[in-house]
Structure 1
Amino acid sequence: MKLYFIACPYSHADEEIVQQRFDLCTSAATKLTMAGYAVYSQITMSHPMNVLATKMDRRIRWAPIDEAFMAKCDELIVLTLPGWDESSGVANEIEYFKSRNRKVWTYDDFAAEHKL
Structure 2
Amino acid sequence: MRLPTVDAGQVDDDAYLLDVRENDEWTAGHQPGAHHVPMMEIPARAGEVPTDRDVVVVCRVGGRSAQVVAYLMQRGFENVYNLDGGMFAWAAAGRPVVGEDGSAGHVL
- Give the structure-1-normalised TM-score: 0.42
Q: Which has the higher helix share?
A: 1
Larger Rg: 1
- Give the structure-2-normalised TM-score: 0.44
